[in-house]
Amino acid sequence: MMYSEKVLDHFTNPRNVGELPDANGVGEVGNAKCGDIMRMYLKIEGDVITDVKFKTFGCGAAIATSSMATEMVKGRTIQEALQLSNKAVMEALDGLPPVKVHCSVLAEQAVRAALADYYRRQGIDPEPIVGKIQEPDHDHGEGDSCPSCG
């Protein structure tokens, strides 16, 4: 399995790792059975994401996509962050192997989940703005191997 230089760089030198104690939006997505769990912390002031951190439990591609997603939303408006797509994350990393595409989907969903939490804390129903947070489109039982989870 070949990874791009950018994937390897974001895996070995991830940006924005950690927690934000004063985060006003926190989202967690993933599937413990698959092994990839992402938690995204956003600090939003006005309409701008002024700081972002992440904690990811998973493979190198999961860490790299989390790192890249934080770089792509930091300093952006909420509206700009809502435009983040897994495809944009993959393109920014110069691609991912097909079996690792789900990591970019999780990165997009982690940002959306944190934005949904931000809106909930404001007393606003997030679904019309953020959309429904999708879990990965597969499930499996204990001990089952999963081709899309690697």
The domain spanning residue 17 has which CATH number? 3.90.1010.10
Q: Is 149 a catalytic residue?
A: no
For position 142, what pLDDT does the model report?
Answer: 40
In sequence order, the 6+-apart residues with CB closer than 8 A to the CB of 5 are: 94
Model pTM?
Answer: 0.88
The catalytic position among 34, 59, 146, 149 is 34
Domain that holds residue 109: 5-125
Q: Report the C-alpha gap between 55 and 40 in whole angstroms.
A: 7
The catalytic position among 59, 103, 146, 149 is 103
For position 7, what pLDDT does the model report?
Answer: 96
**Residue 43 falls inside a structural domain:** yes
Mean pLDDT of 73-79: 98
**Residue 94 falls inside a structural domain:** yes
For position 14, what pLDDT does the model report?
Answer: 97
- pLDDT of 119-140, one tens digit each? 999 999 999 999 887 654 444 3
**Contact by Cβ (8 Å): 6, 13:** no
**Residue 118 falls inside a structural domain:** yes
For position 134, what pLDDT does the model report?
Answer: 65
Mean pLDDT of 45-67: 96
Q: Is 103 a catalytic residue?
A: yes
Provide the 10 A C-beta neighbour count for residue 35: 14
**Residue 30 falls inside a structural domain:** yes
Strand partners, 51: 43
**Residue 93 falls inside a structural domain:** yes
**Residue 132 falls inside a structural domain:** no
Q: Report the C-alpha gap between 45 and 116 in whole angstroms.
A: 15
Number of domains in the chain: 1
**Residue 44 falls inside a structural domain:** yes
